Structure 1
Amino acid sequence: MPNRHALIVHEQPPSIVIDEGDHSQEISPLWLRERTRAPDQLESMTQQRLFDSHAIDSALTLESAVLVDEHHVVLAFSDGHKETYDLRVLADELDDNSHFPCAEPWDASLNQDRLRFDWPRTLDDPAYFQASLDAYLRYGYIILQGVPTDPEQILQVGSHFGYVKETNFGRYFEVYSRPTGNDLAYRSVALGPHTDNPYRSPVPGIQLLHCLVNETTGGLSTLADSLKVLEQLRAENPEGYALLKRTPVRFRFIDAGTELVTHRTMIQTNDDGHPTGVHYSPRLDALPLLSDAQTRLFHRARQRLGELLTDPAYEVRFPLAAGDLMMFDNSRVLHGRTSYNTDEGHRHVQGCYLDTDGPRERFASLMKQQGLMGKVA
């Protein structure tokens, strides 16, 4: 993927400037000094520093900058360090996420065929496996077909895409109708769109659901992209959106042997404040204590969020057949299920959770094998 930043070298006074067209910014000498790639400063295999960058003098200056050719510049610093820097490497540092596909919000018009992949082929064809990872990172979910319905096959799939996360439900869990189950998922009732385990810290990043048997006409799986829904909510109700983004709520789970409680905001954001998903589960949350006016504003916002998540314009519905497995970002893509009639037959699904970073690591590894990536992010 191309770099977005153009770097301009000024020899007098010495500096390197980021030119982004409408504005420019000089790069701090401290930032440049820390990016050293000199053999005595950076261990080649691990790419870890051999010196304490936190101990660099905060008054460090750039003493000279001499352009060697289009891509290389010799920089000399006030601490005596002198090195030839590759401007392309510096640009990669500025675009350190550019190797990964960006999230693309979607609605019900998305062509779901683009997100269906053959499980055996992901094992044998690295390019095909990479395509499935690319789709997951862009859209937050994929459907794998042809997964054997053997018990615990889900763990093999999970290990192929990342790292299985064990919880109080075990390494994996069984989803079928049983009156004594400790969660409403273990009934045949409809389940609205929700985040699994929002009461846990951290919240499971990825969920897998593998259909072993489906003899019913109901029990359709539902998915909705919270990123697309949040765009609409923010446009309609910016004040309510902001309240959901900054106000922690309580999520609680209780069964005979466990009680888990945590407080977190309903809208999940990254360090830049951009939304990455939601913590949404009307079965498990509680209104925060706010003024009456703020409580009503908060409630209207979460009410509208729920309406949008089930709006046919945003929600997709499909049956999971035996051998189908859906993998989705647990906070970004909210999942649910329509009700089903147990008199029609048996419906048995196994589920497990993965840590969030697994697919990104697998994608980075494939990129490195192809020589398309200079480092693992």
Structure 2
Amino acid sequence: MQVTELKIQQTPPALKFSTGKDEYEIPALWLREKTQDPESTDANTQQRLFDSHLIDPDVQLTEVEPLSQGRVRIAFSDGHSAHYTTDYLLAEIVDADHSPAPIAWDSSLDQRLIRHDWRALGDSKAFEAALMAYLQYGYIVLANVPNTPEQVLEVGRKFGYIKETNFGTYFEVRSKPKANDLAYSTVALGPHTDNPYRDPVPGIQLLHCLVNETSGGLSTMVDSVKVVDALMQEDLAGYMLLKNTPVRFRFVDKGVELTTRRPMIKTDETGQTLGVHYSPRLDSLPLLRADEVRAFHKARKRLAELFNHPDYEVRFRLAAGELMFFDNSRVLHGRTSFNPSEGARHLQGCYIDLDGPRERLSEIIKGSKQTEEAA
């Protein structure tokens, strides 16, 4: 929301904000909850010292008094009175989290936008650029990552917090006999979400290449935001089926069985696509009426065709010392098959929670503001 102005009205008492096109009055109840009175809100944590759920739902403004230096005093019908700054109120109206908007992409994506040098990320500006690129495109590739075992954990901790699973704190991606997952084989892997059978699904995946002596095993990436939008334009009814119909995902291993049910398409509260839960190796058709099953499968089939279409796929060779870092639900990953007789192919991977990069970005922005204020 583009807010251009906050208007103070004394008679009758009211606060309004303008978007340049329309004007809206701010509800008294909303303002009452936002009080910055030191006896009501802790200045350090910004957490409330009172139970806002018990505010009188019919509370009204009784006085709005403009003060100096962008401040205003607001009094309420329940007897409460507090000073507010207009900057604080405007920030709360916009409710910005400083994260950039996602940018949908296809096979034409300029790879220079997502490639960053690990050695430079000790500098806050370089780290901010890498974080912004990840939040916009859903993935980045880091070069010059030390080619040593468990280095993936250090990179993970730079961006967030390691998430341990039944595969361990980190996992080895290389072919092995009697593998408990096809990732640990030499076969091609189509675009997919890792661990869609978990609750929650791992947010971010890191894959660090230690050795790659094969001509095959190319890494593939597809932006589900772009693909889901294409499906929605083609087949809105099919899109709605995939968005609203729970699907079972199941993983079976020795002594472990993990099952969950969730729709294939994941959106936010406004309906914007956040990602997908997608793995043809692990899902099951939902049991619906025969006509509904056909319609669901038709939409699922078209989604698969789009995910596997070269117009949407980025394909590259991950070299030793490079690391893929991607949103596990937004950006589907896969690989081409490879011949182990050509040489070794060994990656190490781990997961971190989805909110890590946003937290790191907020730390940088907050630090920059404090430096500016001190100057």
Classify the TM-score, shorter chain: over 0.9
1:154-197, Cα deviation, whole Å (9 max, x unpaired): 00000000000000000010011112110000111100000000
Deviates more, 1:304-313 or 1:161-170: 304-313
Distance 1:4 1:207 in 2: 37
Task: Tell me the CA shift for residue 301 of structure 1.
Answer: 1.0
Distance 1:311 1:24 in 2: 46
Q: How does 1:269-280 map to 2 (within 5 A)?
A: 269-280=267-278
SS of corresponding position for 2:129? helix
The residue number in structure 2 matching 1:103 is 102
State which of 289, 308, 317 in structure 1 corresponds to 2:306: 308
Matched, 1:58 2:34: no
Give the ranges of 4+ consecutive aligned residues of structure 1 lying more than 6 Å apart after TM superposition. Answer: none
State which of 182, 201, 204 in structure 1 corresponds to 2:199: 201
Task: Tell me the CA shift for residue 4 of structure 1.
Answer: 3.5
Q: How does 1:90-239 map to 2 (within 5 A)?
A: 90-122=89-121, 124-239=122-237
The letter of the residue matching 1:322 is A
The letter of the residue matching 2:57 is S
The residue number in structure 2 matching 1:10 is 9
Deviates more, 1:13-22 or 1:83-92: 13-22
Task: Tell me the CA shift for residue 364 of structure 1.
Answer: 0.4
Distance 2:194 2:95 in 1: 30
The residue number in structure 2 matching 1:258 is 256
Change (3 A) 1:98 1:372: farther
SS of corresponding position for 2:369? coil
Task: Tell me the CA shift for residue 343 of structure 1.
Answer: 1.0
Change (3 A) 1:138 1:308: same
The letter of the residue matching 1:355 is D
The residue number in structure 2 matching 1:87 is 86
1:204-226, Cα deviation, whole Å (9 max, x unpaired): 00000000000001101000110
The residue number in structure 2 matching 1:353 is 351
In structure 1, runs of 5+ residues without a counterpart are none
Deviates more, 1:358-367 or 1:47-56: 47-56
Contact 2:216–2:339 (CA under 8 A) maintained in structure 1: yes
Distance 1:245 1:6 in 2: 38
SS of corresponding position for 1:343? helix
The residue number in structure 2 matching 1:283 is 281
Distance 1:153 1:166 in 2: 16
Distance 2:4 2:195 in 1: 40
SS of corresponding position for 2:237? helix
Distance 1:371 1:99 in 2: 13
Deviates more, 1:20-29 or 1:157-166: 20-29
Distance 2:151 2:16 in 1: 53
SS of corresponding position for 2:342? coil
Structure 1 length as normaliser, TM-score?
Answer: 0.95
Distance 1:94 1:294 in 2: 43
Distance 2:371 2:127 in 1: 17
The residue number in structure 1 matching 2:316 is 318
Distance 1:4 1:286 in 2: 46
The letter of the residue matching 1:203 is V
Distance 1:55 1:61 in 2: 15
Distance 1:141 1:156 in 2: 18
Distance 2:48 2:371 in 1: 20
1:67-92, Cα deviation, whole Å (9 max, x unpaired): 33683322111122222221221111
Change (3 A) 1:207 1:331: same
Distance 1:23 1:238 in 2: 32
Distance 1:116 1:78 in 2: 57
Contact 2:2–2:19 (CA under 8 A) maintained in structure 1: no
Change (3 A) 1:92 1:244: same
Percent identical across equivalent pairs? Answer: 56
Distance 1:99 1:373 in 2: 17
Distance 2:371 2:224 in 1: 30
CA RMSD of superposed structures (Å)? 1.7
Contact 2:205–2:326 (CA under 8 A) maintained in structure 1: yes
Aligned residues: 372
SS of corresponding position for 1:371? helix
Contact 1:3–1:92 (CA under 8 A) maintained in structure 2: no
Task: Tell me the CA shift for residue 202 of structure 1.
Answer: 0.3
Contact 2:307–2:313 (CA under 8 A) maintained in structure 1: yes
